[in-house]
Amino acid sequence: MDEAFLSVDKLRVAYGPQPVLDELSLGVARGEFVALLGASGCGKTTLLRSIAGFIRPQAGQIRVQGRDVTAFAPDARGMAFVFQSYALWPHMTVAQNIGYALKLRRTPHAKIHQRVEEIAAMLGLAGLEQRKPAALSGGQRQRVALGRALAADPEILLLDEPLSNLDARIRLAVRHEISALQKRLGITAVHVTHYREEAMIMADRIVILDQGRIAQAGTPHELYNRPASAFVAAFMGAENAIALEGDHADGRLTLHSPHAPVPCVTEILAGACNGHYQARFRSDAARLVDAGERTDGGLRLRGLVSQVSYPGGLWRHAIQFGEHTVIVDAHEARIPGETVDLLVPRDRLFVFPSAADAPRGDTRH
């Protein structure tokens, strides 16, 4: 196996008997921006803090360029860390905060000053150098935290939800700034977040964590269009879920539902069997058609429009099938109470064996 620049090998961290990270392995290439995405409690911050050296793992290794740093103290790892709370030192000025790492390396005073000016100019903090963090706005503090991390030219930058304390509008701008900066400086970055969109915009590769394991890792495009599990599909925005029965024959899977007027036939690559399946799709993936209209291919379901709203752009419909309710966005509004058919094209329908059945599906289409 090719040794990655930063590699995590079978890392195990547990608080008490319950493992937070369960034999987790991950490689990050030099200059790559990896986002760790997951719900709170999935272990993403624990993984980041283990890489930084704040948490001592029970088992496993962390290597940088092939060198085992697992036993190293945080200050011996040459990584920079940006905290969610920013953790700026309140008794130091902006300049002192940014220049601290250089001061520790006994950099000459003039050189520190020059570097601080440089960083401040780069991050739009010029003129604020003599202020204390308490006299800065949230966005400015975030920049100081970033500047402090970047001042000593770290090879690895670890970001722990650094944008979650910012206003929504500033956050949108800072996302692009950070990833542009990371590309320009060629730093290897690991970013923890629980916002899908943030991860998709900033990262080269997204690693989705679920209960201390990697659920799926891949480019934003891969994860969005080819989720490997129902969990990943749901995390990637395919919130609508439908339970279906599947018959497996001749390399084809035929899906039935009491709400489906015609069965849906899909091609199966591996691991399929007869039993329960779950289909997932995004609200903008489905189309509403009249009950009489003829279509072919895809999953067609007949339901009742129970609610219509207009969040902007498209009309949002809540469609009911027995006890299931799905959300479908359409260009034209339907009338509540109307019976409609809903059509999900095969390439936008994600089908997975239900948790109780079979191995994890490698289903496509």
Partner 1 sequence: MRGKSHPGFDRLGTNGISGSHADNESPKEPFALSLSKGGRFRHGAVFSRFDLIAGLWWLPRALMLGALAFAIFGPLCNLLLWAVAEKWYFPHALPLEYGFSFWGRVFSARGNAWEALGTSVMVAGLTVLASLALAIPAGYALARLKLPFRALILLAFLIPQAFPNLPVYVNVARLFYAIGLNGTVAGVVIVHVTHGLVYAVWIATAAFAAIDRELEEAARAAGASALRAFRDVSLPLAMPGLMASAIFVFLESLDEFTGSFFVGAPDVNTLPLLLYTAGAGGNYQIASISALLLLVPSIAFMLVLEKFLRADVLARIGQ
Residue 54 interacting with partner 1 (CB under 8 A): yes
The angle subtended at Cα 310 by Cα 316 and Cα 319, nearest 5°, is 25
Q: Is residue 83 involved in binding partner 1 (CB under 8 A)?
A: yes
Q: Which pairing describes strands 79-82 and 156-160: parallel, antiparallel, or unpaired?
A: parallel
Does residue 91 bind partner 1 (CB under 8 A)?
yes
Is 104 near partner 1 (CB under 8 A)?
yes
Q: Under the criterion CB under 8 A, does residue 359 sit at the interface with partner 1?
A: no
Q: Which of 143, 148, 205, 282 binds partner 1 (CB under 8 A)?
A: 148
Token pair recorded at residue 230: 């129902």
Structure tokens that stand for 252 in this block: 């084809």
Tell me how far CA of residue 62 lies from CA of 252, 255, 330, 348, 364, in angstroms. Answer: 44, 45, 49, 38, 34
Residue 90 as a binder of partner 1 (CB under 8 A): the answer is: yes
Window contacting partner 1 (CB under 8 A); options: 76-84, 165-173, 321-329, 351-359: 76-84
Dist CA 139 CA 201 (whole Å)? 19
- Shortest distance, CB of residue 104 to partner 1, whole angstroms? 5
Nearer to partner 1, 105 or 184 (CB): 105
CA distance to 101, 116, 123, per residue, from 127 (Å):
21, 11, 11
Binding of residue 221 to partner 1 (CB under 8 A): no
Question: Distance between CA 68 and CA 158 in Å, rounded?
Answer: 18
Q: Which of 53, 147, 212, 303 binds partner 1 (CB under 8 A)?
A: 53
Q: How far is the CB of 144 from partner 1 (least distance, A)?
A: 11
CA distance 302 to 262: 10
Based on the shown chain and the rule CB under 8 A, indicate whether residue 52 belongs to the binding site for partner 1.
yes
Give the shortest CB-154-to-partner 1 separation in angstroms: 9
Q: Which is nearer to partner 1, 102 or 228 (CB)?
A: 102
User: Which one among 6, 11, 81, 344 touches partner 1, defined by CB under 8 A?
Assistant: 81
Which CB sits closer to partner 1, 38 or 99? 99
Taking the CA atoms of residue 222, residue 227, residue 233 and residue 237 in that order, the dihedral angle to the nearest 10 degrees is 10
Q: What are the two backbone dihedrals, phi and then psi, of residue 249, each rounded to the nearest 5 degrees?
A: -160, 140
| Torsion over CA: 40, 42, 48, 53 (sign) | positive
Which positions touch partner 1 (CB under 8 A)?
Answer: 52-54, 73-75, 78-81, 83, 85, 87-91, 100-101, 104-105, 148-149, 152
